């Protein structure tokens, strides 16, 4: 199992947070995702096969910007 932290920008409300969380949880191999609106981050638990780029793509398809946190 792997853990990835993403920075997510463009979220302004709880609905935005929920939309990003649903998008991440919809990626095959994601076991869990928790999005924090205040910090603009998402903590994602995945199988080892899931690449961070796949998670970023899911967030971008949901309408938000994302990058792996440093």
Q: What is the pLDDT of residue 70?
A: 84
Q: Which two tokens stand for residue 10?
A: 């463009």
Q: Which two tokens stand for residue 64?
A: 């938000």
Q: What is the pLDDT of residue 21?
A: 98
Residues 54 and 27 sit within 8 Å (Cβ to Cβ): yes
CA-to-CA dists, residue 44 to 15, 22, angstroms: 18, 12
Strand order in the sheet with 30-36: 30-36, 41-46, 2-9, 65-68
Q: What is the pTM of this model?
A: 0.94
Number of domains in the chain: 1
Here the CATH number for the domain that contains residue 31 is 3.30.70.100
| pLDDT tens sequence across 4-61 | 999 999 999 999 999 999 999 999 999 999 999 999 999 999 999 999 999 999 999 9
Q: What is the pLDDT of residue 51?
A: 97
- State yes or no: pLDDT of 68 exceeds 90: yes
Residue 56: give the domain boundaries: 2-68
């Amino acid at each position: 199992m792997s853990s990835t932290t993403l920075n997510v920008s463009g979220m302004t409300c709880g609905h935005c947070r929920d939309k990003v969380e649903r998008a991440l949880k919809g990626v095959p191999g994601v076991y869990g995702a928790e999005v924090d609106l205040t910090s603009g981050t998402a903590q994602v638990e995945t199988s080892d096969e899931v690449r961070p780029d796949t998670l970023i793509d899911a967030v971008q398809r949901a309408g938000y910007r994302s990058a792996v946190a440093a």
